[in-house]
Amino acid sequence: MQDYKKHPIYGVAVPGPGMLWRFRGLVFDPERPTKEIKRLESADIVYTSSEEAEEHAIKLCQAWIDGLKSGSQRDA
């Protein structure tokens, strides 16, 4: 887990079909770090390595937080 703009975030590689990986990104509440406020995932996007899936998840979490901070995100 790492922090991004005071939000704890976590990127997870989830085993997909065959030897492929899916991603799951989790964003947690900065005031209550055990409370998940956003989950980012897609069954349509797969990667050949778990590292790529985790990196993608982290980037999506960061982009979501950036949108939240700029006011373009309406809900958590």
Write the CA distances from 2 to 18, 25, 26, 38, 58, integer angstroms: 29, 12, 11, 15, 9
Q: What CATH architecture is 2-70?
A: 2-Layer Sandwich (3.30)
> pLDDT at residue 76 above 50?
no
Q: For tokens 């947690």, name the residue.
A: 28
Which residue has better confidence, 74 or 58? 58
Q: pTM of the full predicted structure?
A: 0.86
pLDDT at site 73: 55
User: What are the structure tokens assigned to 8, written together?
Assistant: 């704890």
**Residue-range domain boundaries for the chain:** 2-70
Token pair belonging to 16: 């997909």
Which tens digits make up the pLDDT trace of 33-53?
Answer: 999 999 999 989 999 999 999
Q: What is the mean pLDDT of the chain?
A: 91
Structure tokens at 44: 């349509």
Q: 68 pLDDT band (50/70/90 cuts)?
A: confident
